[in-house]
Structure formats: C-alpha cells, structure tokens
Amino acid sequence: MVTESQPVLRGDINLPSSSEELNKLMVHDVGKYKYSGEDFFRKPEKSRFQLSPSGQFFSFLGPYKRRLNIFVQSVDGDESRRITSLDDRDIAWYFWKSDDRLVFAKDDGGDENFHLFAVNSDGGNLTELTPFEGVRIDLVDDLEDEEDEIIVQMNKNDPQLFEPYRLNIKTGALRQLAVNTNVLEPIDSWLTDHEGKIRGAIKIQGGTNTTILYRKTEDEPFSEVLTTDFRENISPLFFDFDNGDVVYASSNLGRDKSVIVRFNLATGMEEPEPLFSHPDVDVTDISYSRHRKVLTAITYLTGKRHLHFLDEQTRLIYENLEREIGGYEIVITGKSRTEDKFMIRTYSDRSLGAYYFYDHKSGTLVRIAEVSPWLHEDDMASMQPVSYQSRDGLTIHGYLTLPIGVAPKKLPVVVNPHGGPWVRDTWGYNPEVQLLASRGYAVLQMNYRGSTGYGRRFWELSFKQWGRTMQDDITDGVEWLVQQGIADERKVAIYGGSYGGYATLAGVTFTPELYACAIDYVGVSNLFTFMHTMPPYWKPYLEMMYAMVGNPETDKDAMLEASPVFHINRIQSPLFVAQGANDPRVNIDESDQIVSALRKRGVDVPYMVKYDEGHGFHNEENQFGFYKAMLGFLAKYLKA
C-alpha cells in the first residue's frame, strides 16, 4: 500500500555527486559551435525601453555588476545615465511616474515578495516605499494624471488578503482605500475608473464562485452585481470613457470562447452583441487611447498574434511602421501622454528585435538599440505552428522548431511542455528553444488540454487530469513526431519548468520507455505536499485548486496515482533536477523528495540547487550554469 512520504529537510541535498562529470561535458561544447550557451542568455546592454510622460526622455534596463538596472537618456542625446545600482537582484519591473521620478520593484532571492522603490530621473532621492518584510506588493493603477500618487495592493495586514492603498511616491505615505478582511470571501482584485476611483472589485465566494462588486462612487458601499461559478468568467477590463456604469470586459458567459463585450455594472447585463469574437480562440485584450478617449485595437492569438483595429489613426500608425520596418511583429511598448511620441519594439521567432523611437507628428522613426546584436537571425531556427490529434480526438496546437541545415528525419528531440499549466505557449523568440536547435535538437512545444486561449471546454478537460489525459496529449505529440519521421524514437528527451517540470517527471514515470532522458526544472513531484506548501495568498483559491487538480481528502487515491514520487521504481531514464531554494510556488521540498527517493534506490541524480533563486533562475551566472549542465546532460544521453 502506497502512503504519503514526508519531505526531506530544506537544503538536505545540494549539488550532485556527478557534477564533475557534467563539468567535463560542458567543456567539450566550448568552441564547437558558432554561439556559446552564454550567448543565448546574456543580459542585453539595453532592453525594456520606456518613454517618459513628456516624450523627452527614454529609459531602459541594462546590466550593472550583472544585474539589470535603470538607465535614462534624453531622446535628443547620445549619453545615458545609470540611476540605480542594485547588485543583488534584477529590477523586476518599472515605470515612469513623471519626467522627474520613476518607480521600480524588486524581490529578495526570488521570494516574489516585491518591494517598491522610487528614484529621481537623475538618480537622486532613492526611496524604499514599502519596507515591509514578507509582504507582496502589486500595482493596481499608476494614476497617470496625478503627479505623486499611485494605487497598490499588498497583503500587509493578512498574508492571504490584498488590500488597496494610495501611495505617495515622494514621501512613502500610505492611505488605505478599502478593507479585505474575510478570508472565506476574499476580494481578488480591484477595478479603478479613469479618475483612479475604486468602483469595482471581484470577490471569491464559497471557494469556487466569483462575484462582481460595484459602486457608483467611493462614498457608497459595494453591491453584488453578478455571481458565477469560476468556470464561467466575465473580466472587467476598463470603464467606458464617461466613467458611468459600463465597462469593457472579456466574457465567456453562455459561450465556450471568451469575447469582448460591453457590460453594465448597474444591471449586471451584457449588451446583446459582442464587440469582437473569434470562432477558434478566446479574445481577452482590448486597447484604448487615454488621450483621445477612443478604442484602438483588439489583440488575439491563434498560431501567431493578430490585431483587429477599431480606430483609423491606430491602423495608419501600424501601417506606416510596417512599411518602414517590415518583416517583424510590431508592438507599441510606450507612449507620451499626448500620444504623439511612441516607443516601438519589434521581434520575430528568430530575433529579439530592436527598439525604435517614433514621432508621429513628424513621421520620424529612429532605431535606438538592437536587443541582441551578437546573435544573427539568419543563424536562428524558425518556429512553425503545428497541430496534431490527441487519442481522444482533440486538436492540440503547438510549435515545432527544427535545427538549421539538417534534414528533418530521425532527429534527436527535446519535448518542452510549458508551465502553468493554465497558460499557453506563443510564437516568438525563445532563447531556450534557439539554444537547443543550435545544438541539433528539434524542439516540440504543445498547448496540451488546459492551456488557455482555446475556450472553456478545452480548459475544463484538464480538471483533475494531471498525469492522465494532460500527459497523454504530450505523449501523443511525441508519437506524432515519430510517425512523421522527424523524431528518432530512441533519442527523445523531455524538459520543462514548473508544471512542465511535473510533466517531465510524469513522463519518465508513467511512460518510462518514451524518453531517453529528462530535465525537471522547479517541478512538482508530490501533489499532496504541493497543495500544503502554497504561498499564503494562494489559500483563498484552494477550493478552485481542488476542483482543477484534486482534493487530498476526497481524491486521495487519484492524487497518489498521479504523484511521481510514489512511483519512482518505474523511472528508468536518467534525470537531472534543478531548483531554486526560495521558490514560493513550488517548494524546494518537491525537488528534494524526488531526488532523495531516487538516491535511496541507488540512482545518482544530478541535482542543482541555487540558494539565491526562487521559481526559476534569474541571475545571469545561475542561468549560465544551468544551461551548460543541460547541454552536457543532453549531449551524453541523446548524442551517444
């Protein structure tokens, strides 16, 4: 009879006894290829550009002591000034609040408890705005029309609950705007109008229901508008421009695919006809011009990204940019408050692209920086949208990347299921995929059932199917590649992170004959301990997790069956495990358990732990070490 095991102590296991062998394998890769592994993961000298509100300055993130810091430069100048000097952790995100001051966030060692800081655009007056230990801060509204304040939410009063505050970015003064005290019916998110007033909220009720709350003014109490089971969803995106009762929202009420609608918060009713829908995929994103107060475009994803224009001026801007740039996806990443100056980003599946400054009035387009000029896109592999049929008749969409200059026959393959699992892979440049393709591996990424964007039914078919039909979709992808003659069935590896790490472990456990080797990166091994070690702010969603993954009490047998750690005797393939010690989502115990269990069986499992990382490795030197080890491991077992 299988019983639950206790996780080993944190940090009980460290670097693998086989690390010397892996290091030897890493060395033989040096000089053999045009690009080193580090080339694919070097921090760009200039990336994540943003435009100041006036459009007179731009900022970017660049490395200082191997950590991403903020630099500021005049649009008309040639010299930039570094205004932050962090050396322990990259800046996670940042934005301009005014031409004089910027706000940025960072965490400690990957714990995801982000702290907010503000700094003047000349580097002076650096201020920590939220010096609270063990507290996570998220942005609610940047209050574009106000000089000194923003709205944030944080779990300062209760680790499980987030409450909104007005925060002065010069003084650090906080003013709480609403309370969120009921852990049984917590408010999940807050919605502001165009004046920065909190007038809407989403509440969790009964563990698996969501309720939209609304008030006409901040002086009134919230009223309940509409309650739905979490499987149905209407997500308010932003208020109509008159700040009345109507919001634009993404909704799948009474339908399979999400569409864009106008929703009246006072009546709880959608307008009869959607603003936009697509027969094959969910539509969840709509953009607008704050300055001109018009809707601009709707974005949706099939195999690639598409724009449906709602505004002639926006359409003409994109057409002008396409004529000038051509051949790349174009994204507007920032704009001045008067919306006459824009920051433009390009990318493709073979390039991280470049940043441009665009002056709409003059029609001037200036290329500012190429993101990774040391990588030539002609040397990169194409990512092709593909689809195949699952054994029970579903169409599974994904992407196949084939190495350049090699016939697509009997190739070594790395199967790369995405994390989440309730997200999806998209078309674009992926450094992991390009690294693997450069070493001669084909890479298959699939949006297995449960991946978002393909409608409610496709998502719900994943419920309580970890290690079952979700895993079958991955297995069916491997078999499809073999049937196509692309994959050498003796040389297939599986690699993934987070849920992809779980899928990796499930793959070598439940289909042990399928994979020559496997790499588990911050993956779940034990569904019971995974449920017990979630961060506190996930606890309000526990009933939803029970519905989607399994309830340890009522689904015990099924969860035992789907947890790889209880079936290690089935694992035959060589396994490499990597984990961040401070991971708040997938606790280090998940990796410790699988490594400990295999080592007790006498299996030598290479295990890389980084004690300054969390859910995935972000520090450059740790990424370099991980991918060197990955290449050595794959070379040993797929190219022998």
**Given 115, 418, 615, 618, which residue is catalytic?**
615
Residue 531: inside a domain: yes
Strand order in the sheet with 329-335: 329-335, 341-347, 354-359, 364-370
Give the pLDDT confidence score for residue 32 in this predicted structure.
82
Q: Does 477 fall in a domain? A: yes
Active site residue 76: no
List residues bridging with 253 in a β-sheet: none
262-287 burial: b if 16+ Cβ within 10 Å, else e: bbbbeeeebeeebbebbeebbbbebb
Q: What is the pLDDT of residues 241-295, one digit of tens each?
A: 999 999 999 999 999 999 999 999 999 999 999 999 999 999 999 999 999 999 9
Report yes or no: 186 and 202 within 8 Å, Cβ to Cβ. Answer: no
List the chain residues with pLDDT less than 50: 1-18
In one-letter notation, the amino acid at residue 529 is: T
Give the pLDDT of residue 2.
30
User: Does a structural domain hold residue 68?
Assistant: no
Contacts 24+ apart (CB under 8 A), 27-36: 28/635, 29/439, 29/628, 29/631, 29/632, 29/635, 33/438, 33/439, 34/379, 34/438, 35/375, 35/379, 35/438
Distances (CA, A) of 132 to 107, 137, 179, 409, 583: 11, 9, 18, 56, 19
Give residue 461's domain range. 19-39+388-638
Q: Which residue type occupies 391?
A: R
One-letter amino acid for residue 524 of the chain? V
Q: What is the pLDDT of residue 369?
A: 96
Active-site residue, from 282, 583, 589, 592? 583
Q: Residue 12: its pLDDT value, please? A: 41
Nearest of 617, 636, 527 to residue 575 by alpha carbon: 636
Residues β-bridged to residue 350 = none
Reading phi first (left if > 0) and then psi (alpha if -120 to 50, else beta), residue 295 is in: beta
**Does residue 278 have an active-site annotation?**
no
What pLDDT does 250 receive? 98
Tell me if 412 sits within 8 A of 442, measured CB to CB. Answer: yes
The reply to whether 106 falls in a domain is no
219 part of a folded domain = no
**pLDDT at position 17:** 39
pLDDT at 639: 80
Q: Which of 52, 351, 462, 498 is the catalytic position?
A: 498
SS3 436: helix
> Catalytic residue at 583?
yes
Cβ(74)–Cβ(57) below 8 Å: yes
Q: Does residue 199 lie in a domain region?
A: no
Q: What is the pLDDT of residue 26?
A: 61
Angle value at C-alpha 420, between 414 and 421, nearest 5 degrees? 80
Whether the bond between 421 and the residue before it is cis, its omega within 30 degrees of 0, is yes
* Token pair of 198 as six digits: 């909190």
Report yes or no on 182 lying in a domain.
Answer: no
Domain of 513: which CATH number?
3.40.50.1820
The answer to whether the beta carbons of residues 199 and 193 sit under 8 Å apart is yes
In a domain, 597, yes or no: yes
125 exposed, middle or buried (CB, 10 Å; 0-12, 13-18, 19+)? exposed
SS3 content of the chain, % helix, strand, coil (to 5): 20, 35, 45
Question: How many structural domains compose the chain?
Answer: 1
Q: Strand, coil or helix: what is 228?
A: strand
* 537 closest CA partner among 101, 91, 188, 143: 188
Can you tell me the distance from the alpha carbon of 590 to that of 250, in angstroms, rounded to the nearest whole number?
36
Crossing angle between the packed helical segments 620-638 and 431-438, to the nearest 10 degrees: 40
* DSSP letters for 455-509: -HHHHHTTTT-TTTHHHHHHHHHHHHHHHTT-EEEEEEEEEEETHHHHHHHHHHH
